[in-house]
């Protein structure tokens, strides 16, 4: 068979097809990697950070917040940290956020990924409304729940008496002593992590999780009884329509049927 020379037009079309094909291949590999690499839900961000989705697209990874932090709390994720690469985070057990009143890490952010508005009340920076996460207590390993008197986390809390309170109750096990149990109030807790750092147990029994991870959500279908204000939330609730068909069999038929045969 005679070899035909490839025409210019065919060459162009083949070249373009090859380029687009390789780009598609690369694009899928690239996207798949990105999806995995940014999937970490447990990253604790500096105060004033946007929601994680917006944060990831807005943070330019310059490290100015890290340099502004006077306590070396903030770190930039390096390869191997298993966090979204180059973004700032902190590990409260090592160095917590000391909640500087002037919040130096936030105003230096050039992109607004750390947003002043989020930590401002009445035109002034207010670290007490920051939301870096929320403290969670494992009452199995917290020694205060065993009856040992420990209030390390309560004392360490910078919003002492509000974010963590101590609840007294009787120790029924011994019958003679009192429990002094720490209770976290999620609405006040900023997630600074000073409690986690102060915790005396081998692995901290009180620790910070991002709020989205740590807290549940009741939704609009449940309201507190005897509370006029809470009732208003019902207005947001939408009707739920179930699409599952209800069985047309009578319950008696089911009971008298041969369901036992199904089992055995």
Partner 1 sequence: MKTLWNNYRYLILRRITQIGILILYFGANAWGWTILQGDLSSSLILNTVPMSDPYAVLQMLSAGAVLAGDLLLGVAVVVLFYMLIGGRAFCSWVCPINLITDLANYTREKTGMNKLKGVKQPASRNIRYWIIALSLIISAVMGLTAFEFISPISMVHRGLVFGLGFGWAAMLIIFLFDLFVLKNGWCGHICPLGGFYSIIGKFSLIRVHHDAEKCTGCMDCKVVCPENQVLSMINKDSLPVLSGECTNCARCIEVCNDDALGFSIRNLTKNSKTGE
Min separation Cβ 78 and partner 1, Å: 3
Q: What is the CA radius of gyration of the chain?
A: 28
Count of CB atoms situated within 10 Å of the CB of 55: 20
Coil, strand, or helix at residue 166?
A: strand
Q: If binding is defined by CB under 8 A, does position 212 make contact with partner 1?
A: no
Nearer to partner 1, 56 or 95 (CB): 56
Distances (CA, A) of 201 to 36, 143, 153: 33, 8, 11
Among 108, 166, 186, 214, contact with partner 1 (rule: CB under 8 A) = 108
Q: If binding is defined by CB under 8 A, does position 155 make contact with partner 1?
A: no
Among 40, 52, 85, 188, contact with partner 1 (rule: CB under 8 A) = 85
Q: If binding is defined by CB under 8 A, does position 91 make contact with partner 1?
A: no
Nearer to partner 1, 31 or 171 (CB): 31
Q: If binding is defined by CB under 8 A, does position 120 make contact with partner 1?
A: no
Nearer to partner 1, 90 or 207 (CB): 90
Stretch that binds partner 1, among 110-118, 143-151, 153-161, 239-247 (CB under 8 A): 110-118
Closest CA relative to residue 136, chosen from 194, 179, 96, 196: 196
105 in Cβ contact with 130 (< 8 Å): no
Stretch that binds partner 1, among 103-111, 203-211, 221-229, 244-252 (CB under 8 A): 103-111
Among 40, 52, 76, 131, contact with partner 1 (rule: CB under 8 A) = 76
Among 10, 11, 57, 232, contact with partner 1 (rule: CB under 8 A) = 57
Sign of CA dihedral 220, 221, 226, 231: positive
Using CB under 8 A as the binding criterion, the count of chain residues that bind partner 1 stands at 37
Distances (CA, A) of 21 to 3, 13, 18, 27, 29: 26, 12, 5, 10, 13
Q: If binding is defined by CB under 8 A, does position 110 make contact with partner 1?
A: yes
Count of CB atoms situated within 10 Å of the CB of 93: 15
Min separation Cβ 70 and partner 1, Å: 10
Long-range contacts of residues 201-204, Cβ cutoff 8 Å, at least 24 apart = 201/141, 201/142, 201/143, 203/141, 204/93
CA 111 to chain centre: 22
Q: If binding is defined by CB under 8 A, does position 80 make contact with partner 1?
A: yes
Rounded to the nearest 10 degrees, how much is the dihedral formed by the CA atoms of 61, 65, 71, 75?
Answer: -10
Q: Which residues bind partner 1 (CB under 8 A)?
A: 19, 22-23, 26-27, 30-31, 33-35, 37-38, 53-54, 56-58, 60-64, 66-67, 75-76, 78-81, 84-86, 108, 110-112
């Amino acid at each position: 068979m005679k070899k035909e020379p490839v025409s210019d037009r065919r060459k162009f079309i083949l070249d373009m097809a090859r380029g687009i094909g390789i780009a598609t291949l690369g694009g899928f590999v690239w996207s798949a990697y990105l999806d995995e690499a940014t999937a970490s839900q447990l990253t604790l961000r500096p105060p004033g950070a946007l929601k994680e989705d917006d944060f990831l697209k807005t943070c330019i990874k310059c490290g100015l917040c890290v340099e502004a932090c006077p306590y070396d709390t903030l770190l930039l994720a390096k390869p191997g940290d298993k966090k979204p690469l180059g973004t700032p985070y902190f590990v409260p057990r090592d160095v917590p956020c000391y909640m500087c009143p002037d919040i130096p890490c936030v105003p230096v952010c050039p992109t607004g990924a750390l947003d002043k508005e989020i930590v401002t009340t009445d035109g002034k920076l207010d670290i007490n409304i920051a939301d870096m996460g929320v403290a969670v207590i494992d009452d199995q390993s917290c020694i205060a729940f065993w009856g040992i008197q420990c209030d390390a986390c309560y004392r360490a809390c910078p919003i002492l008496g509000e974010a963590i309170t101590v609840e007294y109750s009787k120790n029924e096990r011994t019958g003679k002593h009192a429990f002094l149990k720490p209770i976290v109030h999620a609405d006040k807790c900023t997630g600074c992590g000073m409690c986690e750092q102060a915790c005396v147990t081998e692995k901290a029994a009180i620790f910070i999780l991002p709020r989205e991870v740590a807290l549940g959500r009741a939704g609009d279908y449940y309201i507190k009884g005897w509370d006029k204000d809470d009732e208003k939330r019902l207005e947001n609730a939408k009707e739920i329509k179930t699409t599952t068909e209800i069985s047309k069999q009578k319950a008696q038929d089911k009971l008298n049927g041969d369901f036992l045969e199904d089992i055995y």
